[in-house]
Amino acid sequence: MRRKIKKPKRQSPKLLKEFIFKMHPLEQMVWKKVAGPSGAKIYQFVKWKRGMMKHNGWITVGNVEMRDHGWPMNRETKSNAIYKLNQAELIGIHPKEPGKSVRVFRPDIKGEYDDR
């Protein structure tokens, strides 16, 4: 008796699509104007991470995570950019704990992913 070969299950089209995050060029330019090219990188990272998590909340901006996902940046440059963005009130910063990554919140996009 021959065994029946199982076919692999078809994945849904949603799983086959790659995640594409919504970029707003004017928003990115504002972040770049405030904090330089590093501000634009942080904007892209925060938009990507928020889209992957699909909820509104605090986003950790870690040095290793940014480097691993294609946004390499020196830690001092990142800290200066986050400080400038906080001063311009484009992001909020969670009180930093020693040894932990900085957590940021974008107050201007409350409810961006509530409809999902």
Query: pLDDT tens for residues 1-48?
Result: 566 666 555 555 554 445 566 778 898 999 999 999 999 999 999 988
Is residue 101 within 8 A of residue 60, CB to CB? The reply is yes
User: Cβ atoms within 10 A of the Cβ of 50, count?
Assistant: 20
Q: Pick from 77, 78, 85, 80: which is nearest to 108 by CA?
A: 85
46 class by beta-carbon count within 10 Å (0-12 exposed, 13-18 middle, 19+ buried): buried
Fold exhibited by the domain 27-109: Arc Repressor Mutant, subunit A (1.10.10)
Residue 114 CB contacts under 8 Å (≥ 6 apart), including other chains: 56
Q: Is the pLDDT of residue 86 over 90?
A: yes
Which whole number is the average pLDDT over 66-83? 92
